[in-house]
Structure 1
Amino acid sequence: MAKKPLVIGIGELLWDVFPDHKQMGGAPCNFAYHASKLGLDSMAISAIGNDELGVEIINKMDAVDLKYDMQRVDKDTGTVKVTLDEKGVPQYEICQPVAWDFIHMKPEYNKLANSTDAVCFGSLAQRGDVSRTTIRSFVNQVSNDALKVFDINLRQHFYSKELLEDSLMMCNVLKINDEEIKVVSEMMGLQGDDVENCQTLLKNYHLKMVALTCGTEGSYLITPAEVSFIETPMVEVADTVGAGDSFTAAMITGFLSKKSLKETHEMAVKLSAFVCTQHGAMPEYSNI
């Protein structure tokens, strides 16, 4: 039996606290969950506090059978206050400093990085010196033949032009949405439309692929050779939390499986549409 590709999500892990309930979240962990459900050997790397919320995170990850390396640090487990607008789109208020700001580079991560086939990281977990240093050390040790996915994931004020440029230089796949590409384009002085600006980033940073998601307006997968566009399916939306992370996981699964760009794109669109019909970022796949 062929060895499953190893994929790592490294960064923030937290509780999304809604007005009436809470859900475990954080883009790298959500990515790792969906990658595992799609048949990859996946792991989430982050940090939690020595508190009840940290215990609940471990219990939750065990319950969904997600592999993890969770460092215990003397900080509160991360929380985010989430409110949904009338379209079910989340707005976030992110607390700091919290446990996932203090992910340390463990010696065993060196070997893990060397055997990784795809790693997903974002900008948010790089807001603090400790986690930023660890994430960059890990990603830089992953082979350039592997996929280094920068899921840009802009939140509040936790990013800068320098951080984004440094991350783009480390990655070879960029995942970005229609709001984020406008912020990045303004920061970097790009003058085209959203797709043209994605193509400019692809060229300037020598990327293998850019994924541009535009909510209900569809999505694009852009490579040096081709562009795929697929309209967003019309579904009854429960909430959109985690939909982008599932898109990334399916996209990477297709890429590692050597599917065509269109097949890969179709997988990503189908899964993210399903996640939008479910509550929370880690729904049961038995419902698909």
Structure 2
Amino acid sequence: MKDKYVVGLGEALWDVLPDGRKLGGAPANFAYHAGQFGLNAIAVSALGEDKLADETIAQLEEKGLHYCMPRVPYPTGTVQVELDDEGVPTYDIKENVAWDNIPFTPELQAIAENTRAVCWGSLAQRNVVSRQTIYKFLDATPKDCMKIFDINLRQTFYTKEVICQSMKRCNVMKINDEELIVIGRMFGYPGLDIENKCWLILGKYDLDMLVLTCGVNGSYVFTPGCVSFQKTPVVEVADTVGAGDSFTGSFCASILEGKSVAEAHKLAVEVSAFVCTQPGAMPDVKAYFNL
């Protein structure tokens, strides 16, 4: 099982922060953090035929992260990131870039057939090319694959149909409290409280788990008949870029290693809090957590 892949699937991009560029994108962040816990992690996306693509490959190799990122005739993705006084980011995500056009290749088919867990979001589905590639990948994974839909709503790059298709394909869903309000309105149950919305989604889509993060107000993991709650640690925040992806990557790794939901949840919260104290999305957590 250790040889099977844990895959971050979707956008590969550079976050252009006030203090310079940093490699990011939720799938690569997820794969990086899952990989720090000893899993065979791989980031799947597409890159341009440009200097920024070369820098991406150099960074991935420096961080020891495996990748499948074919070159396509579009620019490598960038995101302009502005941080508020609390270090919370807002994003300006460039369109018609390489990760909008991920091809479904024989290599990708082979990875999908040998995948133990995969995480994807809504953003990489804004273009039909990558959307169809994501669907083909998911449909080619083994039946026991852990399929995590980290909804990750950004700007206006999502539709009800895209979200619905991914909710049908996943067995684990991750969402934050603001996104839950949007989904509640979109799917026609705005009157329910937060917990009842989560129970409804869990049952309606036959999920194994629903992870709800509420910023400083803690986080929940709903499973059929049970819920885990963890407080958010109080830390000095450098920025929150990639914190949610580190939560998902470490949570996934812990579940795959046989930890209970409560144990996995506690570790995910601790890893996410540590990442908030560090600049950028991919700090090294191994020394801090004795990995």
- TM-score strictly above 0.5: yes
The separation in 1 between residues aligned to 2:286 and 2:158, in whole angstroms, is 37
The amino acid that maps onto 2:179 is: E
Shift of 1:49: 0.8
The corresponding residue for 2:183 is: 184
| Farther off after superposition, 90-99 or 250-259 | 250-259
Q: By how many angstroms is 1:114 displaced?
A: 1.5
What is the match of residue 91 of structure 2? 92
Question: Is structure 2 residue 58 aligned with structure 1 residue 52?
Answer: no
- Larger CA deviation: 228-237 vs 104-113: 104-113
The residue type equivalent to 2:118 in the other structure is V
1:156-215 Cα deviation digits (max 9, x unpaired): 000011110011001110010111111001101123112211111110000000110111
- Aligned to 1:199, the other structure's residue is in SS state helix
Structure 1 position 50, deviation (Å): 1.0
The residue correspondences of 1:185-224 to structure 2 (distance < 5 A) are 185-190=184-189, 191-224=191-224
- Structure 1 letter corresponding to 2:22: Q
Look up the match of 1:166. Answer: 165
Query: Counterparts of 1:285 and 1:108 in 2: how far apart (Å)?
Result: 30
Residue 226 to residue 163, structure 1, CA distance change in 2 (3 Å): same
What secondary structure is seen at the aligned counterpart in 2 of 1:148? strand
Rounded to whole Å, the distance in 2 between the matches of 1:78 and 1:112 is: 23
Structure 1: give runs of 5+ residues left out of the alignment: none
Shift of 1:287: 5.1
C-alpha distance in 1 between matches for 2:229 and 2:79: 33
Aligned structure 1 segments of 4 or more residues deviating by more than 4 angstroms? none
Shift, 1:285, TM fit:
2.2
Contact 1:4/1:39, CA 8 A, preserved across alignment: no
Aligned pairs, how many? Answer: 287
Alignment check: 8 A CA contact 1:5 1:256 kept = no
- The answer to whether structure 1 residue 63 and structure 2 residue 62 are counterparts is yes
CA distance, structure 1, for counterparts of residue 2 and residue 99 of structure 2: 30
Unpaired runs of 5+ residues, structure 2, are: none
**Deviation at residue 251 of structure 1 after TM alignment:** 1.0
C-alpha distance in 2 between matches for 1:78 and 1:269: 29
Q: Distance in 1 between matches of 2:88 and 2:287?
A: 22
Assess if the C-alpha contact under 8 Å between 1:83 and 1:91 holds in 2: yes
Distance in 2, matches of 1:3 and 1:244, equals 24
CA distance in 2, matches of 1:116, 1:230: 29
Distance 1:172 1:6 in 2: 17
Alignment partner, residue 269 of structure 1: 269
| TM-score, normalised by the number of residues in structure 2 | 0.96
- Native 8 Å contact 2:13 2:24 kept in 1: yes
How far does residue 70 in structure 1 lie from its aligned partner after superposition? 1.1
SS of 1:48 mapped into structure 2: coil
1:200 corresponds to which letter in structure 2?
A: L
Residue 282 of structure 2 corresponds to: 282
Query: In structure 2, what is the equivalent of residue 28 of structure 1?
Result: 27
AA paired with 1:184? Answer: I
Report the RMSD for the aligned CA atoms in angstroms: 1.1
1:227 has 2:219 as partner = no
Give the % identical residues.
Answer: 52
What secondary structure does 2:27 align onto?
helix
* Distance in 2 (alpha carbons) for counterparts of 1:236 and 1:4: 37
Q: Distance in 2 between matches of 1:100 and 1:77?
A: 7
Distance 2:228 2:101 in 1: 38
The letter for the 1-side match of 2:141 is: V
8 Å Cα contact 1:47-1:73 kept in structure 2: yes
Match of 1:116 in 2: 115
